[in-house]
């Protein structure tokens, strides 16, 4: 479960990721539109898991490494 209201659950290859919705909404038309369609506004919890069925886990983790560098 994602603890903060601004986190979103994304499912990729059966793995669940909790990510900050802000980055995805701000920098992606796809996610901005998706969150709007789900009726969620900034700083509101998103109870729905967004499945990214066409994304491979290794690719998503590479993408996350850019957003969340070590």
CA dist., res. 68 & res. 7, Å (int) = 14
Handedness of CA 29, 42, 40, 48 (dihedral sign): positive
Q: What is the pLDDT of residue 24?
A: 85
Please list the pLDDT of the chain residue by residue as tens digits (70 residues). Answer: 565 667 889 999 999 999 888 888 888 898 889 888 888 776 677 778 889 989 999 999 999 998 888 8
E strand or H helix at 15: strand 15-20
Structural domain boundaries in the chain: 7-67
User: What's the distance, CA 41 to chain centroid?
Assistant: 14
Please name which of 22, 7, 11, 9 lies closest in space to residue 54, comparing C-alpha atoms.
11
Tracing tokens 């038309």 back to the chain, one arrives at 29
Q: What is the pLDDT of residue 61?
A: 94
């Amino acid at each position: 479960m994602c603890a903060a209201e601004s986190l979103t659950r994304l499912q990729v290859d059966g793995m669940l990721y909790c990510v900050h919705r802000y980055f995805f909404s701000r920098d992606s038309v796809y996610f901005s539109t998706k969150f709007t369609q789900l009726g969620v506004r900034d700083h509101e919890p998103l109870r729905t898991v967004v499945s990214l069925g066409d994304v491979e886990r290794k690719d998503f983790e590479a993408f996350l490494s850019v957003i969340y560098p070590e």
